[in-house]
Amino acid sequence: MKKCTVVGQGLAGTVLAFLLQRAGWHLTIVDRGHEGSASAVAAGMWNPVSFRRVSVEPLLMSSHPEMAGVYRAMEVWLGERFFFPTPLVRVFPDQQSANLWDEKTRRPLLSPLVQPVPPSLSPHFNAPFGTGCVAGAGWLDVPKMLGAARAAWMASNTLTAESRSAGYSGEVTIWCTGAAWHAEGAAWRHAVIPNKGQLLQVEMDGPALEELVHFGNFLVPSGSGGYVTGATYERSFDHAQPTPEARALLSTALEEVYSGPFAITGQTAGIRPTTRDRQPLIGPVEGWTNQYLFNGFGSRGVLLVPWCAARLVEHLETGCALPRAVATSRLSART
């Protein structure tokens, strides 16, 4: 029988374990709890289009078609809804950005992802330079998906709530421990770079928004009602808790674009697992037998994890090479 241990049941470990389970692997999942993890606070938005360059990275182009099938299959398995394709409206910050959008989105690569006529935004949004719209966007209620999967795996005695230390082990073990790898991983610990992100939970009067909104920061529905806005990107930080500075920054940014009343009802923080080249890190850990890394999803876990998990399962099953852009072998090549 194909046996494997998945350490970490954040977004990465959950999707990977689901695909392994579907492929017939006998699983043990170990997770010490979601507190402080990136997935516990993630807004869950996915958007394949980079707004700065108005372009789509090849990795995101590959990942986008595979994503929906995986999350839909997880919804069927768990009997819950947590995957919500929703248009994303971009509020242009200036005329140059609006012109670039018009020019680039006519190209064949981008045109299927955009919506030519954006939905009309609430009149409370200030958009003097207009708006564009990504049709191929949406949001995943990450905490709901993780909670449901955890309950199912605990009921089947597949998951145990404990901490596991990185190190040599004879059986196939896949480390999906997010930014904690930086603190605990013996091999390549510096390859995963912690980056703190903070969000505000807000309530807004009036009818519910029918779209996600991006204005430099984003505004996304929250699974517990209301919306979340964020996020900060903090490379240096002393602790993982929310700060008053981030609250002021995020609140001011929302006030600048939204003239209607809103109330801040909460603030959360988590640590993203980022990498130097902004690409995930997947594959064998050098020098450790049967040990694999599945990490480095930065701020794009929702979109990247399903495709990357499918590639790792194929690799484990057939021995086929992992795509070079995401493979851990690029770390060995660097040293």
Ligand X SMILES: Cc1cc2nc3c(=O)[nH]c(=O)nc-3n(C[C@H](O)[C@H](O)[C@H](O)COP(=O)(O)OP(=O)(O)OC[C@H]3O[C@@H](n4cnc5c(N)ncnc54)[C@H](O)[C@@H]3O)c2cc1C
Contacts to ligand X by CB under 6 A: 7-13, 30-34, 37-39, 41-46, 163-164, 176-180, 184, 197-199, 230-231, 270, 272-273, 295, 297-303
Query: Which of residues 89 and 98 has its CB atom nearest to ligand X in the complex?
Result: 89
Write out the DSSP string of 114-134: B-SSPPPPPTTB--TT-EEEE
Query: Which of residues 132 and 270 has its CB atom nearest to ligand X in the complex?
Result: 270
Query: Which of residues 42 and 98 has its CB atom nearest to ligand X in the complex?
Result: 42
Q: How many Å apart are CA 312 and CA 20, to the nearest integer?
A: 9
Question: Tokens 């994890």 identify what position?
Answer: 305
Tokens representing residue 33 in the block: 């709890």
Query: Which of residues 98 and 308 has its CB atom nearest to ligand X in the complex?
Result: 308
Kindly state the smallest distance separating residue 47's Cβ from ligand X, in Å: 8
Kindly state the smallest distance separating residue 12's Cβ from ligand X, in Å: 3
Q: Which residue is nearest to ligand X (CB)?
A: 10
Q: What is the DSSP letter of 24?
A: T
Query: Which of residues 97 and 173 has its CB atom nearest to ligand X in the complex?
Result: 173
User: By C-alpha distance, which of 290, 2, 11 is closest to 144?
Assistant: 11
Kindly state the smallest distance separating residue 111's Cβ from ligand X, in Å: 24
Kindly state the smallest distance separating residue 128's Cβ from ligand X, in Å: 26
Kindly state the smallest distance separating residue 293's Cβ from ligand X, in Å: 10
Q: What are phi and psi for residue 64, nearest 5 degrees?
A: -60, -50
- For 220, left (φ over 0), alpha (ψ -120 to 50), or beta? beta
Query: Which of residues 98 and 142 has its CB atom nearest to ligand X in the complex?
Result: 142
Kindly state the smallest distance separating residue 102's Cβ from ligand X, in Å: 26
Kindly state the smallest distance separating residue 96's Cβ from ligand X, in Å: 26
Q: b/e string for 173-199 if b means 16 or more Cβ within 10 A?
A: bbbbbbbbbbeebebbeebbebbbbbb
Query: Which of residues 118 and 230 has its CB atom nearest to ligand X in the complex?
Result: 230
Contacts of 92 (CB under 8 A, 6+ apart): 98, 101, 127, 129, 130, 131, 132
Q: b/e string for 142-154 if b means 16 or more Cβ within 10 A?
A: bbbbbbbbbebbe
